[in-house]
Structure 1
Amino acid sequence: MPYQLQPNSLGSKEANPRQHRTCTVSAFDIDFYNGSKSELISEIVDSSQKAFSYIVTPNVSHVVQLERSEQLRRAYDKARYHLCDSKVLSKLLRMKRVQVKEVIPGSDLTGDLMDMADDKKWRVSVIGNNAQEMQEMGERYPNVEFFHHNPPMGFIDRPAEVEKCLEHVADNPAELVVLAVGCPRQEVLAQMIYDDGRSTGVGICVGASINFLSGKVRRAPLWMQRLSLEWLHRMLMEPRRLVKRYAMDAYRMVRIMYRHLR
C-alpha cells in the first residue's frame, strides 16, 4: 500500500511542534536547541512514551542543503529540536553573534542514549545499517530490545518501501527510534512517521552514529574532536566519497555566510 498521510490516532501530538520548543536561539533560519545535553536527555525520557516526535542534528552540510531542498526544510520545520551537531558550525554561529549553550554531536548523544536504553531496558527501533552491525549492537547493549529494518538504496522515492518503514515503526513500538539512513532521507522519513500518526517514542536522525558504536567505522580520536577536526578525519577515511562533497559545502557555506553577515 502506498504511503498516505493518516489522521493522528494518539490524540496528543502537537499541531505545531515549534510552539513547544524551549531554550532556542535562531540563525540560518534554524531554531537551535540551547539547553544542555543532560537537559535534553531528560526531555527525551519524558517524551519516550508519548506521540512520536523527532530531533534533527544540523551541521554545515545541512545548512547548505536547507538552502536548496524544500523537502528537507519541511522536515526541519516539524522537528521538535535542532541540535548544533558541529563545532565548526558553532564557530560560524558565533560569527553571527549567536552562541549555543552546548554543542551536542549526534554521535555523542546516540552513545549516551544507548547506554541509558541499556540501563532502562528500552526498546529501540533502528532504520538503516545491516544485520552484522545490529548483531554487534545487540552484544554491546544486551538489555536493549532492538527492532531493525534496513531499507534498500533509493527507498525514499519508492512509496512501497517508505510504507514498509512506517509499518515497521508502527508495529514495533519503541521508546527510541534511530534513523540512520543519511541526510536528507532520515529527516524526510522522520517527518513521514510524524505525519503518519501511528507511532510513539522519540526519533533521532543520527547518520553514521550506529557505524561508530558497532565498530564498523573508527571515529576520530579525541584530540581531533577537541580541535574541531572530526570532519578532516572522516574525509581522510573516505576521500573518494567526501573530498568533493566537503569542498562544495565549504564553497556554498562561504556564500551563505556572506549573505547572512550582510
Structure 2
Amino acid sequence: MKSHRGYRQILGIRFYAGDIHGALERMRHGGLLVVPAAPALKDLATNPSYREALIHADVAITDSAFMVMIWNLLERDSIRRLSGLEYLRGLLQMDEVRKPCETLWIMAGPANAKRNLEWLEEQGILVPEDYVYMAPMYGGEIQDEALLARLRELRPKHIIITVGGGTQERLGLYLKRSLEYTPSIHCIGAAIAFLSGDQVRIPAWADKLYLGWLFRCFSAPGRYVPRYWEARKLLPLMVRHRSQLPGHNDREVA
C-alpha cells in the first residue's frame, strides 16, 4: 500500500483519502479535480486518454464505493469514500462559487441545463447566460476552440463540468493544458442531476450508505443495470494491479 499525506495510490492513480474540507482546500487555488466511477475505472488498461487524464489530475476523489471496498479489503486499509455528490454539496457552499461571475458551468445539453439552472436559482445561485456553455458531442480527441475563447474572455475562477464520465476528465485535462491561467476545474458529472431532479434524486443517507447506484438502477434499469454489471471488471483489475497502473496492453477477463 502506497500512502503519502492523506493520499493512496490505487491503480496508479493518486487518490485523495481525506475529508471534504481537505478536498475543497486543495482545489481553492486551481487545478483539476476528477471523480472516477467504477464503470469508467474498469477501462484504465484499455483507454489511454482517460488514463492520462486521471494521472495528470491534481485531485482524484474516492467516489467509487466499489473501488473503496475492494481496496480496503485487499490492503486492510480504512479509507473512506468521498462521493461526487458530497463534494458538490460542499463546493456549492463556497461564497466564490456562488457569485454570479466566478463560475462557468459546462452542461451536457439544453434540457438538463434548464433543470440544473432552475435548481441552482432555487439555492440562491444565479448563473448569467454567458457563464453556461453547452458541451458538443466530443470525439476521441477533444478540441473546443469556442469554449477556450469563452474562458479566455471571462476568466472564471471555477469551471464545473457536468458531462459524462470518461469524457469530462479528458475535457478537464484539455482545459488545464490549454488555458493560460489556472482555474479550479471540477469534473462532477451527474452529481448535480441527482439534486436538480434531472436524474433520480439521491438522498444524502443513501449516498453515505453507498446506495446511489441502486437508486439509479431502479430509476432506469435498461440504462444503468448493464453499466454497473460491467463495473464488476474492476475487481480482477484491482486484484491484479492494486497500486500499480495497468498497462495499455492489459486485458482483464471477468
TM superposition score normalised by structure 2: 0.81
Separation of aligned partners in 1, 2:53 and 2:60: 11
Separation of aligned partners in 2, 1:159 and 1:137: 29
Instruction: Give the 3-state SS of the residue equivalent to 2:8 in structure 1.
Output: strand
Matched, 1:213 2:191: no
Gaps of 5+ in 2: 243-254
Instruction: Give the 3-state SS of the residue equivalent to 1:217 in structure 2.
Output: coil
Asked if structure 1 preserves the Cα contact closer than 8 Å seen for 2:33 and 2:58, the reply is: yes
1:232 Cα shift? 1.2
- Post-superposition, which runs of at least 4 consecutive aligned residues in structure 1 deviate over 6 A? none
Matched, 1:42 2:25: yes
Q: Deviations over 1:184-224 (max 9, x none)?
A: 11111111111113243211111112212323223233443
Q: How does 1:30-109 map to 2 (within 5 A)?
A: 30-45=13-28, 47-48=29-30, 53-97=31-75, 99=77, 101-109=79-87
Residue 260 of structure 1, aligned match among 219, 225, 241: 241
- Going from structure 1 to structure 2, the CA distance change for 1:143 and 1:68 (only over 3 Å counts) comes to same
Q: Which moved more, 1:94-103 or 1:241-250?
A: 94-103
Q: Deviations over 1:148-189 (max 9, x none)?
A: 11123x2245766x2222223222222221111112111111
Q: Which moved more, 1:142-151 or 1:22-31?
A: 142-151
Aligned to 1:180: 162
Residue 247 of structure 1, aligned match among 195, 206, 229: 229
Aligned to 2:134: 150
Aligned to 2:245: none
Separation of aligned partners in 2, 1:80 and 1:100: 22
Separation of aligned partners in 1, 2:234 and 2:97: 41
Asked if structure 2 preserves the Cα contact closer than 8 Å seen for 1:25 and 1:98, the reply is: no
Aligned to 1:128: 107
Aligned to 1:190: 172
- Going from structure 1 to structure 2, the CA distance change for 1:194 and 1:200 (only over 3 Å counts) comes to same
Instruction: Give the 3-state SS of the residue equivalent to 1:125 in structure 2.
Output: strand
More helix by share: 1
The percentage of aligned residue pairs carrying the same residue is 23
Q: Which residue type is aligned with residue 14 of structure 2?
A: D
1:59 Cα shift? 2.6
Aligned to 1:116: 94
1:243 Cα shift? 1.4
Residue 148 of structure 2, aligned match among 148, 166, 172: 166
Asked if structure 2 preserves the Cα contact closer than 8 Å seen for 1:111 and 1:213, the reply is: no
Separation of aligned partners in 2, 1:63 and 1:106: 15
The CA RMSD over aligned residues, in Å, is 2.5
Q: How does 1:12-23 map to 2 (within 5 A)?
A: 23=6
Aligned to 1:10: none
Aligned to 2:246: none
Separation of aligned partners in 2, 1:158 and 1:39: 33
